[in-house]
Structures are given as structure tokens and as C-alpha cells.
């Protein structure tokens, strides 16, 4: 994996802004373990020990960990489809960390979490989506869905969710939406399939969002592929319910959805898609054959 020289130098420059030695102490010890969440906890604990907690210190920590990841990423068991995404991911990260506004404003909490997961390899870049490598759905969620008509026929898959942390979970990265289109999503799912082939213990992938809502087929037909592709490929769909955050996100970028919501003709609802590994792998074979 080749990293752009300017990207690397930018990360080095940012990492040297403070003398805190996060990467080579507690965090680096935790990186040797199997718990992907332990380094994140250690990272934040190390930052909290500093008397001045600000975005500059967090930027420094993220840059340090990014450099560590660059040095060890080729030793990790990632497929080429994922490794090819990292040069752009690191370039974007370096650009974001050097933005002028970050030097005075707080590090957005959601972005900080996403960047922490990226540099600790708890999540990986996959084009249209970011893929969390560990997700634990839990019995409470499954029991809530037992009466859903979408649930029937997929009970065994859902029960499997609870047996271990064995599902990938996808998230949208709002800073980088260039590949948020049907071709980009197809490539993303193909990348996830490549991950599944290398990790036979993973049971599949879960995605949760307002844009999986069946209402979108008619309201925003250009987004219909977000549902039709996985559903036609054997994924199950589960209703999570409405919520303020889903309404905010669904109406933020569309005048049509916002107008329908204000007229009382549309109430955004969050849905999850659950795509079992065997179904996704079958879909990917057909997808690759069609290229």
C-alpha cells in the first residue's frame, strides 16, 4: 500500500504538535490484544490525563495512531479491495486534521469517534460506507422484532446475531459522499464480501438508516437501489421506528421530503437491512460476473 508523501508528512507534522506519547504507551499495548474497543478506551483515557483537553490534542492523537496504522496495515488480514481504499482515506484524514477551523473549534464528537475507529482499525473504509468490524445486536433488539412481518423467515439469522459479536455494521461518512451512488454501493457490498471471505466467522452485514425506509421507493425513487439491491440479494428488512434524528437526516438534503414531512404526508422511519453472509457472497458472485 503506497501512501502519498504529502499525506504522510502532514500526519507527521500534526502528530508532533504535542509531546503526549499516547501511541507508544497504553494504547500501543492494547493494540496487541484482540479487543478492538480497548484501544479506543485507552486513547480517550490517555487524552483525559492531559490538563488541557482540546481539539489540537485529539488531532495529535489521531495523527499518531494513523501513522502507527500505516506502519502495520500490510500485516493485517485485509483483502486488496479494502487495502486499496486506505490511501484516499489517509489523504482525507490528513486534510481534515489540517483544516483551519479545527485548530480553534472543538473536534466534532461524531467525526472524532469515526476517525478513532479508522486509525485503530476498528472500522475500515469501503467506499460508499465505512464498515465496523464488530457489531453486537443483542437479545433485546431481537425480541422487539419478533412480531415484525419482515422478521418471519429470518428468525434463525437474527438469533445468530446474539450468539457472538459476529456481524459487520455499515455507516455513512457524511464528510465523504462521492461514492454514495448505486455503483459505489455495489462496489462497497463487493468489498464487504471480500472481507467475509477472509473472515469465515462473520455472519453477515447490518445497515441501519432512514434511507432503508420502504416509503423512499415512491418518495425518492432515485434512492430505491438502497433497498432493492440487498433485498433482491436475500437480505431481510426490519423496522426500527421513527425518531427525531431520523427526521432531521431524512429532511436535511431534500426539499421534496421536507415538504412532504411538513405537510404531514411523510414521517421518516428507521429500518435495518440484515444481509447474511451466504446470501451476500452469492450476490457478489453474480455482481462480479456481470462486470
- pLDDT per residue over 53-92, tens digit each? 567 777 888 888 898 899 889 888 899 999 999 999 999 9
Task: Say what the pLDDT of residue 28 is.
Answer: 52
133-291-188 Cα angle (round to 5):
20
Assess whether 11 and 69 both reside in one domain. yes
Question: Between 61 and 212, whose confidence is greater?
Answer: 212
Assess whether 112 and 135 both reside in one domain. no
Assess whether 104 and 142 both reside in one domain. no
Counting the structural domains of the chain, the total is 2
Q: Which of 94, 122, 150 is the last residue of a domain?
A: 122
Q: Which of 122, 143, 159 is the last residue of a domain?
A: 122
Assess whether 89 and 44 both reside in one domain. yes
pLDDT above 50 for 143: no
Assess whether 110 and 175 both reside in one domain. no
Task: Say what the pLDDT of residue 8 is.
Answer: 83
Cα(35)–Cα(100) distance, integer angstroms: 35
For 132-142, the pLDDT digits (tens) are 986 655 434 44
Assess whether 50 and 132 both reside in one domain. no
Percent of the chain residues past pLDDT 90, beyond the cut? 53
Assess whether 50 and 118 both reside in one domain. yes
How many CB atoms lie under 10 A from the CB of residue 195? 21
Assess whether 261 and 194 both reside in one domain. yes
Give the domain extent around 273: 127-291
Assess whether 274 and 147 both reside in one domain. yes
Is the sign of the CA dihedral 80, 64, 100, 112 positive or negative?
positive
pLDDT above 90 for 122: no
- DSSP per residue, the chain: -PPPHHHHHHHHHHHTSS----TTTHHHHHHTSS-TTHHHHHHHHHHHTSS---HHHHHHHHHHHHHHHHHHGGGS---HHHHTTHHHHHHHHHHHHT-GGGGTS---HHHHHHHHHHHTTSEEEETTEEEES-----HHHHHHHTT-TTTTT-HHHHHHHHHSS-EEEEE--TT--TT-SHHHHHHHHHHHHHHHHH-TT--EEEEEEGGG-TTHHHHSGGGTHHHHHHHHTT-EEEEEE--HHHHHHHHHS-HHHHHHHHTTS----EEEEEEEHHHHHHHHHHHHHH-
**Lowest mean pLDDT across 59-63, 212-216, 252-256:** 59-63
Q: Which of 122, 156, 184 is the last residue of a domain?
A: 122
Assess whether 23 and 118 both reside in one domain. yes
Assess whether 77 and 146 both reside in one domain. no
Task: Say what the pLDDT of residue 15 is.
Answer: 78
Assess whether 32 and 100 both reside in one domain. yes
Amino acid at each position: 500500500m503506497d501512501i502519498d508523501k504529502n499525506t504522510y508528512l502532514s500526519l507527521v507534522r500534526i502528530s508532533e504538535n504535542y509531546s503526549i506519547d499516547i501511541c507508544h504507551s497504553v494504547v500501543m499495548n492494547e493494540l496487541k490484544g484482540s479487543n478492538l474497543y480497548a484501544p479506543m478506551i485507552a486513547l480517550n483515557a490517555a487524552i483525559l490525563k492531559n490538563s488541557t483537553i482540546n481539539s489540537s490534542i485529539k488531532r495529535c492523537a489521531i495523527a499518531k495512531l494513523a501513522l502507527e496504522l500505516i506502519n502495520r496495515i500490510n500485516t493485517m488480514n485485509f483483502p486488496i479491495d479494502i487495502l486499496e481504499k486506505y490511501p484516499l482515506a489517509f489523504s482525507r484524514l490528513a486534510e481534515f486534521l489540517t483544516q483551519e477551523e479545527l485548530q480553534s473549534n472543538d473536534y466534532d464528537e461524531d467525526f472524532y469517534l469515526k476517525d478513532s475507529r479508522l486509525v485503530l482499525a476498528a472500522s475500515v473504509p469501503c467506499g460508499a460506507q465505512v464498515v465496523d468490524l464488530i457489531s453486537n445486536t443483542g437479545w433485546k433488539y431481537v425480541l422487539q422484532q419478533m412480531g415484525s412481518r419482515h422478521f418471519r423467515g429470518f428468525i434463525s439469522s437474527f438469533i445468530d446475531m446474539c450468539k457472538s459479536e459476529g456481524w459487520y455494521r455499515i455507516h455513512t461518512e457524511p464528510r465523504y459522499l462521492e461514492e454514495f451512488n448505486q455503483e459505489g454501493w455495489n462496489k462497497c457490498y463487493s468489498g464487504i464480501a471480500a472481507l467475509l471471505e477472509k473472515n469465515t466467522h462473520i455472519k453477515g452485514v447490518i445497515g441501519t438508516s432512514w434511507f432503508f425506509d420502504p416509503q423512499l421507493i415512491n418518495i425518492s425513487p432515485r434512492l430505491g437501489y438502497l433497498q432493492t439491491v440487498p433485498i433482491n440479494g436475500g437480505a431481510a428488512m426490519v423496522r426500527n421506528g421513527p425518531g427525531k434524528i431520523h427526521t432531521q437526516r431524512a429532511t436535511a438534503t431534500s426539499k421534496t421530503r421536507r415538504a412532504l414531512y411538513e405537510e404531514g404526508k411523510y414521517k421518516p422511519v428507521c429500518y435495518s437491512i440484515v444481509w447474511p453472509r451466504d446470501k451476500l457472497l452469492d450476490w457478489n458472485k453474480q455482481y462480479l460476473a456481470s462486470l
